[in-house]
Amino acid sequence: MTPAAAQPDIQKLLQDCGAMLEGHFRLTSGLHSDRYIEKFRLLEQPRALRQAAEAMVEGLDPAAVDVVLGAAVGGILLAGSVSALLDRRTMFTERVDGEMTLRRGFNLRAAEKVLIVEDIVTTGGSVNELLAVVRAAGAQPVKVVCLVDRSSAGLSLDLPTRVLLRLPISAWPPESCPLCREGRPLQEPGRSGKLAV
């Protein structure tokens, strides 16, 4: 692993990449919001992606991790970049009929130590699904590292968690969305295949 670089300002990194958007958005969770973080503006920039991955691995002992796990699609690039820095195996989950699952021959072995890498958290639902996949395989989740937590309450899990940027952003159920009442056009960026709840 390369020597630790100075911790980047993740919010500035996102802004500089054009990832911070304003408008009326339907989030993957089904909630509506006036702001959206388009992570792919950061992920498409090799230097920015590397800075984010370096920040994610800061302070991690590679010996404490066997596998780095992310969720398709954005999590593939982040998990791959993190695993390259740690020199550990990487894999990702995909949704099949709305359910998070390992495919493409990926298999977690019993007792393997798994680092979960997540991009943007709104409700924490995807992180909990990743944890369920790891535990169902008999593997051991050791830590969650998240690029941005945009939830109002903050991500709360039963294992060590590191969030690079805490950025609470207002989000509303469609039936109580003030932007819908104003008649503002709704945008639906991103398509994770996640079923809205």
Within-domain flag for 173: yes
Within-domain flag for 193: no
Within-domain flag for 1: no
Within-domain flag for 56: yes
Residue 125's pLDDT is 86
Q: What is the CATH number of the domain that holds 115?
A: 3.40.50.2020
Within-domain flag for 145: yes
Contacting residues for 29 by C-beta, under 8 A, at least 6 apart: 122, 123, 125, 171, 194, 196, 197
Q: Are 188 and 26 in contact (CB under 8 A)?
A: yes
Residue 169's pLDDT is 87
| 10-residue averages of pLDDT along the chain (197 residues) | 60 94 89 92 95 95 96 92 97 93 94 95 88 96 95 85 92 95 90 42
- Cα separation, 35 vs 43, in Å, equals 18
Within-domain flag for 37: yes
Read off the pTM.
0.85
Q: Are 56 and 147 in contact (CB under 8 A)?
A: yes
Residue 3's pLDDT is 41
Within-domain flag for 72: yes
Query: In terms of residue numbers, what domain contains 140?
Result: 10-181
Residue 10's pLDDT is 93
How many separate domains does the chain show? 1
The token duo for 143 is 């830590």
Within-domain flag for 97: yes
